[in-house]
Amino acid sequence: MLARFDGLVLGKHGDPDWHRTNEGAPAVQEAINFLQKQKPLNALTYSADLSIPARHHVNDQGPKGTTGHNSSNGDSC
């Protein structure tokens, strides 16, 4: 990924997968350095308590094509 940066742009301008970033490659390198020093975490586990509101959120946002943490009427967790 780092080699694909040109300044703040990841990829070539105009390509379908190009992105303009705020920080550029140094922020990616900082994240890599941080993660390489971290101990592995336990595997994620299923939670029925979280899956129900997550399903409601998907059913709310999916058909509308929206994304984000808030519901389509602006409510938050």
- pLDDT tens digits for 36-76? 999 999 999 999 999 999 999 999 998 998 888 888 888 88
Query: Domain ranges in the chain?
Result: 1-65
Within the chain, strands assigned E span 5-6, 9-10, 19-20
Identify the residue whose tokens are 């595997």. 43
Q: Is this model's pTM higher than 0.95 or not?
A: no
pLDDT at 17: 81
Q: What confidence tier does 12 reach under pLDDT thresholds 50, 70, 90?
A: confident
CA distance 45 to 41: 12
> Within 13 Å and on the Cβ side, how many CA atoms surround 68?
10
Tokens standing for residue 61: 């946002």
Closest CA to 4 of 20, 30, 31: 20
Q: What confidence tier does 14 reach under pLDDT thresholds 50, 70, 90?
A: confident
